[in-house]
């Protein structure tokens, strides 16, 4: 059996200014860090929504 790679990889990171951002890699394309979120949960929710939009648009 071969392991399938996921379509999207999301990384959440804390910026030097204390704010949170996400980096999204979708089908091998890495998009620049997005956001100045106040919490890690907000960054995760925004990343999840962005991933869903990319999957829907194909």
Sorted by where each begins, the domain ranges of the chain are 8-57
- The answer to whether the CB of 39 falls within 8 A of the CB of 45 is no
pTM, rounded to two decimals: 0.80
Closest CA to 58 of 11, 16, 23, 8: 8
Tell me which of 3.40.50, 2.10.25, 3.30.160, 3.40.1000 is the CATH number of domain 8-57.
3.30.160
Measured CA to CA in angstroms, residue 25 lies from 15, 32, 47 at distances of 18, 9, 10
Q: Residues 3-57: pLDDT tens digits?
A: 677 788 999 999 999 999 999 999 889 999 999 999 999 999 999 999 999 888 8
| Among 7, 5, 11, residue whose Cα is nearest residue 47 | 11
Burial (CB count within 10 angstroms: exposed 0-12, middle 13-18, buried 19+), residue 43:
buried
């Amino acid at each position: 059996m071969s392991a399938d790679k996921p379509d999207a990889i999301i990384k959440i990171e804390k910026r030097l200014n204390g704010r949170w951002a996400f980096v999204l890699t979708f089908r091998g394309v890495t998009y620049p860090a997005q956001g100045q979120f106040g919490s890690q949960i907000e960054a995760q929710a925004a990343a999840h929504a962005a991933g869903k939009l990319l999957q829907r648009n194909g």
